[in-house]
A and B are shown apart, each in its own frame.
Chain A
Amino acid sequence: MKFRQRREESLDHEIRDYIERETRANIEAGMPSDQARHAAMRKLGSPQQVKEETRAVWGWVWLERLWQDIVHGRRMLAKNPGFTLVAVLSLAIGIGANSAMFSLADALLLRPLPVLRPSEVVAVGTVESAAGFSQIVASYRDYVDFRDQSKSFEGLAAFADSTFGYATRRDALAQLKLGTIVTGNMFRVMGVEPELGRSFRPDEDQAAGRDAVLILGHDFWEKEFGADPSVLGCKLLIGGIEFTVIGVAPARFTGMSRYFESAFYVPIMMWPRLVNNPQDRPLEARDYRNLTIRGRLKPGVTVSQAQAEIAAIGKNLERAYPDTNHNRAAVVRTELQARIQQSPPDAQLVAMLITLAIAVLLVACANVGGLLTSRAPTRAREIALRLAIGAGRQRLIRQLLTESLLIAVAGGLLGLLVGYGGVLFLRQIKIPSDLPIRIGIELDQRVLLYSMCLAVASAVLFGLVPAIQTTRTNLVGALRSATADAPGPRRLWGRNLLVAAQVAISLVLLTVTTFMFRGFQHMLGRGPGFRTTHLLMMSFDPGLVRYDEKQAQQFLHQLVERARTVPGVKSAALTYAIPLGNDGVDGVTVVPEGYQFPKGKEDVSVLANDVGESYFDTQGIPMRGRGFLATDTHDSPRVAVVNEEMARHYWPEQDAIGKRFRLNDRKGPWVQVVGVAKTIKYLWIAGAPIEFVYFPYVQHVKPRMTLLAESFGDPASLAAPLREAVHALDANQPIYNVRTYDEFYHYRAVSTTNLIIEVVGAMGVMGVILAMVGLYGLVAYAAGRRTREIGIRIAIGAQRGSVLRMVMHQGFVLALSGLGVGLVASFGAEGVLKAMFTGKGTDITTYLLVGPALLAVTILAGYIPARRASRVDPMKALRYE
């Protein structure tokens, strides 16, 4: 402020100084003094205007120049509508593909937590040190130790998402809602202030089971209570317990999960009363690991410092509680790392799609860069003139870059439109569930920012080199004649490289697309390894209606018995997880007997499911040995069924049936293998075979179970009689996720898979089209520059065919070298992709399909302009210029 004032005064003084000097000079020249001053003022011009103009210089020189550049650039672009259109469209495709992929990546992986300063928040917890596939979780006891012993954090909060039975009146049927159990400090640590009411008090975080209070999620509050503020103080039934509403979360806090918004938040001290199984002691058992911890780092503390501290605490816990904490390493991870660890397939998918999208954008940039380079000679005259009359080279480069930026911004804006189309398309991904699970694929400001950053980056990428080249013009030559500057070998070399790279990238895009398409087709054709038809599923959560474990077991037992007697049911079984399902597949740690682990490893984590009697028949999974029987009970010896993959790995060339493994660790209970089931697809339709183990659910009690019924006819027709059968057992038992497996399989495996193939395919096609435009442009440009030469050749008797060959030769060489490089890169890409499918060597067919097809298209792209060039009328060609 003071500086500005001084500057203003200084300018004022400067102008007064001028007037006085001029007046004095005029008087000395003999002017009368009154006229002298007048003449001085006239000579200066309006002092106000002078000041105004000078002030403008202070602040706005760069802005003014930018404006000049923009105006000039716009004029230049408007002068060449063809060029502008191709450039903008190319970029729109490239950027649009990225916008759409980024919005998917954001929804699956990248979007920050909706909390205050999310970058300070990290994930804390324990992982199984041996296993690769392990979630970062913690028990309440471990959480308390981390919270009280660490000094790196401003606060550590823990939470657990769970399903609850929700009702407003005692006589109403409970509805299934997703809620979150949180530690009392959750809202404080996350920097979230309730929109209404208050958050939890410290005393509500102390006595187990005493304070039945809850905070409503904003969305739930709006939908269920019409955003009525008088909801504060209301009593709601959660899991049959009366809770008092004390607050409402703000709209921007959508919960800690990306996939759903919690209906309500209840204090962790109420957890013991909300668990389905009274034997569970969530606040006491150190191995009841169902919590997720998020901590806010103190200012200046790095993740690795926090990691060191937490790891040390974890080591102490391992020593102090070997029974529960042996081999559980404590870790600190950033939110992104935690999310990747939570779902590696999502991260792989995202990485692959983003890479493909970037490849498309690179092809687009190469296109525009090529177009700009070919425009360079035509602009050389203009540039040379401007250089000559004193424009700085830097300034000209900036001018040219501004032009590129204009193209890029226009491309970016149009690209957002393309991206929005992509987003609409991706939103078709559905997760079949009764719960309000959402994948928030949005075109929000983050996507906007990302797209614009990409636009600017591509402007520099495709604009800088041509700009530098253009301004390196030979002044005299350029001014003398428009075409005097024959393109130097270097300039064409750069363009050739661009086009070859385009062909190479598009070949990789196409091979990847074809490979994935064929891979998925192969997978879908082979099927998941079990029967998907004639199956109806319905899920139960007996805990929702306050069954204790014994009651729940009895209910489930009766449920299957009754279901088997329903007419139309061929067989029925219970299972915890359904194959290809969204959740329910947990890892367990096992130590197979007689297997020599590599050094430093003493157990292994495998995926597991808990199933009931005749499960394998009902689900249609072929097996040897026996499935689980009614004689496998809570008290009988522990048994398990392993899949072929696991049997082959740990008991190679032996019969796994009769072998044993220890559960949890080297001192865990023995479990005997009684059967070997065929390896099927467990998580996703694609993917390498996974080791898997089944346990009888009676020996591993789970809160929720799904009833699987095999029908003789249409499985959907079983829904009504089965519901009746359930309600005959318990009229209040909630039933959810009732659907046929066919429908589920279609959503889960077929449609999502097809969607991904279509997305990848669309990017492949875009890449190829862009590359063809590039090649076409290059050959047309090169031929155009040789018009006179071609004319002479034809005039002195060259055959049109040989001219055609001559012109095409360049494009052909480029296409071939691009194909060669692309082929090598494709082999690399295939290696990466093979992990996703059960790879059996190189997929020759893909190369046989894609290589020649691309070659044909590239030849066509070169042929059209070459043919036009060979048809040139020699008279016209020679008279030209």
Chain B
Amino acid sequence: MSTQRELSRVELLQGTLDMLILRTLLFGPAHGHAIAHAIEHGSEDVLQVEHGSLYPALHRLVRQGLISAKEGVSENNRRAKFYSLTAKGRKHLTAENSKWARLTQAIGRIMHPLGEEGQL
């Protein structure tokens, strides 16, 4: 891995990581390893997660009731812990999503004070 790529990676904020986990689980239950890779690939390796830091985040989300954990059996008959989105988590994700949208919108308006109305 080159240092260049290393630098361009953004260190993830805790809140963002939580959201990315929730987004990943939107597609169905997954175990820790799968979630880590999904996040890493989903952001085209730009968002770098030290995979270990995933576990505290997962446990925190369980505690907040946004996701649930269940012992299950994986594809090759191995015992594994699966995480899935709860109803509360789903709701939270939608709310967070619209907040993101609002933020980007707000930032956009600050950057370009003349919004749609201004162009008229």
The interface of chain A, by Cβ under 8 A from chain B, is 10-11, 13-15, 17-18, 21-22, 43-47, 49-50, 53-54, 56-58, 61, 387-391, 475-476, 479-480
Contacts and interface: CB of A to CB of B under 8 A. Distances in A.
Contacts of B96: 390
Contacts of B29: none
**Chain B, interface SS category:** helix
Given A43-B51, A44-B51, A390-B100, 18 more contacts: A17-B33, A17-B81, A18-B33, A18-B51, A21-B33, A22-B51, A43-B50, A45-B52, A46-B52, A50-B52, A53-B56, A57-B59, A388-B103, A388-B106, A389-B103, A390-B16, A476-B105, A476-B106
B79 A45 contact: no
6 contacts: A10-B71, A17-B32, A58-B63, A61-B63, A475-B106, A476-B106
Range of interface residues on B (Cβ < 8 Å): 20 to 34
B94 interface: no
A218 to B, nearest CB: 51
Which residue, B19, B53, B100, B106, has most C-beta atoms of chain A within 10 A?
B106
Given A10-B81, A45-B50, A388-B103, A57 B60 contact: yes
Contacts of B90: none
A202 B59 CA distance: 63
Given A53-B53, A476-B106, A14 B81 contact: yes
Contact of B109 (A389, A390, A391, A480): A480
A45 B54 CA distance: 11
Nearest to B71: A10
B41 interface: no
Interface in B84-120: 96, 99-100, 102-103, 105-106, 109-110
Nearest to B36: A18
Contact of B102 (A10, A22, A46, A388): A388
A856 to B, nearest CB: 49
B31 A17 contact: yes
A61 B55 CA distance: 14
Interface in B5-40: 15-16, 19, 31-33, 36
B53 A50 contact: yes
B21 to A, nearest CB: 13
A13 B19 contact: no
Contacts of A21: 33
A58 B16 CA distance: 20
B59 A58 contact: yes
A200 B19 CA distance: 72
Contact of B51 (A11, A45, A61): A45
A15 B106 contact: no
B81 A57 contact: no
A45 B52 CA distance: 6
Contacts of B32: 14, 17-18
Contacts of A54: 55-56, 59
A49 B60 contact: no
A54 B15 CA distance: 16
A560 B51 CA distance: 101
B94 to A, nearest CB: 13
A476 B105 CA distance: 9
A49 B52 contact: yes
Interface of B: 15-16, 19, 31-33, 36, 50-53, 55-56, 59-60, 63-64, 71, 78-81, 96, 99-100, 102-103, 105-106, 109-110
B60 A61 contact: yes
A324 to B, nearest CB: 69
Contacts of A43: 50-51
A729 B83 CA distance: 99
Contacts of B100: 390
Contacts of B19: 390
A54 B81 CA distance: 15
B79 to A, nearest CB: 7
Contacts of A44: 50-52
Contacts of B99: 387-388, 390
B56 A57 contact: yes
Nearest to B81: A14
Contacts of A17: 31-33, 78-81
A389 B96 CA distance: 9
Nearest to B59: A57
Closest 3 pairs (CB-CB, A-B):
A45-B52, A50-B52, A388-B103
Nearest to A48: B52
A22 B109 CA distance: 44
Contacts of B80: 14, 17
Contacts of B33: 17-18, 21-22
B91 to A, nearest CB: 12
A46 B56 CA distance: 13
A13 B56 contact: no
A480 to B, nearest CB: 7
Nearest to A19: B33
Contacts of B106: 388, 475-476, 479
B105 to A, nearest CB: 8
Given A17-B31, A18-B51, A389 B15 contact: yes
B84 to A, nearest CB: 15
A11 B55 contact: yes
Contacts of A57: 56, 59-60, 63
Given A47-B52, A476-B106, A13 B81 contact: yes
A44 B54 CA distance: 9
A45 B53 contact: yes
Given A50-B55, A54-B55, A479 B110 contact: yes
A148 B81 CA distance: 67
Nearest to A384: B106
Which residue, B19, B52, B96, has most C-beta atoms of chain A within 10 A?
B52
A57 B63 CA distance: 8
B22 to A, nearest CB: 11
Contacts of B59: 54, 57-58
Nearest to B15: A390
Contacts of B79: 13, 17
Contacts of B15: 389-391
A328 to B, nearest CB: 62
Nearest to B115: A476
Contacts of B64: 61
Nearest to A62: B63
A54 B64 CA distance: 14
Nearest to A50: B52
A56 B56 contact: yes
Contacts of B55: 11, 14-15, 50, 53-54
A18 B52 CA distance: 9
Contacts of B78: 17
A479 B108 CA distance: 11
Contacts of A46: 52
Nearest to A58: B59
B93 to A, nearest CB: 11
A119 B117 CA distance: 71
Contacts of A18: 32-33, 36, 51
B110 A480 contact: yes
Contacts of B31: 17
Contacts of A391: 15
A11 B52 CA distance: 12
A14 to B, nearest CB: 5
B107 to A, nearest CB: 8
A430 to B, nearest CB: 59
A132 B101 CA distance: 72
A346 B15 CA distance: 58
